[in-house]
Amino acid sequence: MKFDIITIFPNIFSGFLSESLLSKAIRKKLITVKIHYLRDWTEDKHQTVDGKPYGGGPGLVFKVEPIFKAVTALKSKVKSNKSKVILFSPRGKKFNNELAKKWSKLDQLIFICGRYEGVDERVAKYVADEVISIGDYVLNGGEVAAMAVIESVSRQLPNFMHDADSASKDDHAQYTKPEVFGIKGNVLRGKGKKQKTKILRVPKVLLSGNHKKIDEWRKGNSN
């Protein structure tokens, strides 16, 4: 699986890609992640990637020309039809786990990370295959969104997770040792400063050994 990221801030990804499971997957060549500096596809001496919006308004908008050139060059390096170009935008379709599973079957994902006031709409209409949002909020750019999608898609790949079931399981409430935990103070949610010691216990069903009941409890305590 190859991820190609188009950005004007390539160093943002350094720590993210050098830690934990992603780093291991890269070393094992399960995934390849390449960061591409958008300004490398400009021709003027100032390496201009943005301009003032037509019709007026604040800020700057990413130009279509360098993005088109970057995407064209990156797509040509992967001889496969199983490739998608993704533009991140607050106006895009909401990303979810079903998309992550679907995209994990591809050979290449190209991410366009916008900044400032956005990206020329011709990129969304004619260059990107899909316009994606990772939530109902606005980020400074697409880089954080790209990180979230890379991690979510990579989890679906064979041999990425030590336990394959971890990639597909439902997200339910979890407990571990100690079985009983006593706490005193004002840190408990909704409690006053003068509270007595609160005893926090693991639900008895999880200690029962009855796997049918445990499964039922987990289904009732999942998202």
- The answer to the question of whether 138 is labelled as a binding residue is yes
- The answer to the question of whether 87 is labelled as a binding residue is no
Q: Which of 10, 65, 117, 122 is catalytic?
A: 117
| Closest C-alpha to 168, from 100, 94, 84 | 100
Q: 91 catalytic, yes or no?
A: no
Contacts of 199 (CB under 8 A, 6+ apart): 180, 181, 182
Enumerate residue ranges in the chain where pLDDT < 50.
none
> 56 — alpha (psi -120 to 50), left (phi > 0) or beta?
left
Q: Give the chain's end-to-end CA distance (angstroms, integer).
A: 29
Q: Which of 90, 122, 130, 151 is catalytic?
A: 90
Q: Which tokens is 192 given? A: 């006053």
Task: Write down the pLDDT at residue 67.
Answer: 97
Cα separation, 187 vs 5, in Å, equals 42
Cα separation, 65 vs 126, in Å, equals 12
Task: Write down the pLDDT at residue 199.
Answer: 86
Task: Write down the pLDDT at residue 191.
Answer: 53
Q: 155 catalytic, yes or no?
A: yes
Q: Which of 98, 158, 170, 189 is catalytic?
A: 170
Task: Write down the pLDDT at residue 113.
Answer: 97
For residue 135, what are the CA distances in angstroms to 12, 97, 149, 207? 20, 13, 12, 37
Tell me the CATH class for 2-167: alpha beta
Task: Write down the pLDDT at residue 190.
Answer: 59
Strands (E), the chain: 2-7, 32-37, 50-51, 61-62, 83-94, 108-112, 130-133, 180-183, 198-201
In the chain, list all ranges with CATH 3.40.1280.10.
Answer: 2-167
The model's pTM is: 0.83
Cα separation, 67 vs 114, in Å, equals 10
Residue 107 phi, psi dihedral angles, 5° rounding = -95, -25
- The answer to the question of whether 134 is labelled as a binding residue is yes
- The answer to the question of whether 163 is labelled as a binding residue is no
Q: Which of 4, 120, 143, 155 is catalytic?
A: 155
Contacts of 91 (CB under 8 A, 6+ apart): 131, 133
Give the DSSP per-residue string, 37-55: EGGGG--STT---EEPPTT
DSSP state of 211: H
Task: Write down the pLDDT at residue 161.
Answer: 85
DSSP state of 196: P
Cα separation, 8 vs 114, in Å, equals 8
Task: Write down the pLDDT at residue 186.
Answer: 66
Task: Write down the pLDDT at residue 189.
Answer: 63
Cα separation, 39 vs 43, in Å, equals 9
Task: Write down the pLDDT at residue 196.
Answer: 73
